[in-house]
Copies of this chain bind each other. A is one copy, B any other.
């Protein structure tokens, strides 16, 4: 599963890199370079039209389009779906959200923002409210900011060397953070950490 971020200028937001360290960033003219299974993330800047953004050919087999909108609203989301995208979310969404979107999309789901779902389904507001607060990142409150960054990268299957390069610190420091993380969360190794971060059982 690969990830390509497509924008006017091939410059990635920090959150994108954090969500998918191995991702590629392309200018809109370079869309053709994206080959193989994966997600193509199209950034929609303010005032731009969805129809001008997405390739008219639609996604290739095994590929999925997601629109990252600077100013998302329900109208845009609907346009994205109609244009062949499998999802639409905020350009500045947190790394966890991006990974979540990728997960759903890559498994045949459609990612629909909660605001739209709420309007569209009606009468379900109370559940939605409720889950707003119970975003129990029990792990993230226990960790320091730096440790959280390391933990997220580990959860994405990055090696210590990659993490070190990404955060511009030594591999030794990465290990130090990890040892601290394992101790705080009562885990054994990076694989358990990955499951914990990704919200999987055990």
> Residues of A with Cβ closer than 8 Å to B?
1-3, 20, 22, 37, 39, 58-59, 61-62, 64, 78, 81-82, 84-86, 96, 99-100, 102-104, 106-110, 112, 114, 117, 120-121, 123-124, 126-128, 130-132, 134-136, 154, 156-157, 159, 188-192, 194-195, 198-202
Copy tally for this chain in the complex stands at 2
Q: Is the CB of A195 within 8 A of B131?
A: no
Q: Is the CB of A157 within 8 A of B84?
A: no
Chain B residue at smallest Cβ distance from A154: B191
Given contacts A100-B109, A136-B62, contact A157 B86 (CB under 8 A): no
Q: Is the CB of A199 within 8 A of B114?
A: no
Given contacts A104-B104, A135-B108, contact A1 B201 (CB under 8 A): yes
Given contacts A62-B134, A189-B157, A191-B157, contact A1 B127 (CB under 8 A): no
Among B62, B81, B107, B199, which residue has its beta carbon within 8 angstroms of that of A107?
B199
Q: Is the CB of B117 within 8 A of A107?
A: no
Q: Is the CB of A123 within 8 A of B198?
A: no
Q: Is the CB of A110 within 8 A of B135?
A: no
Given contacts A100-B107, A131-B108, A157-B189, contact A81 B199 (CB under 8 A): no
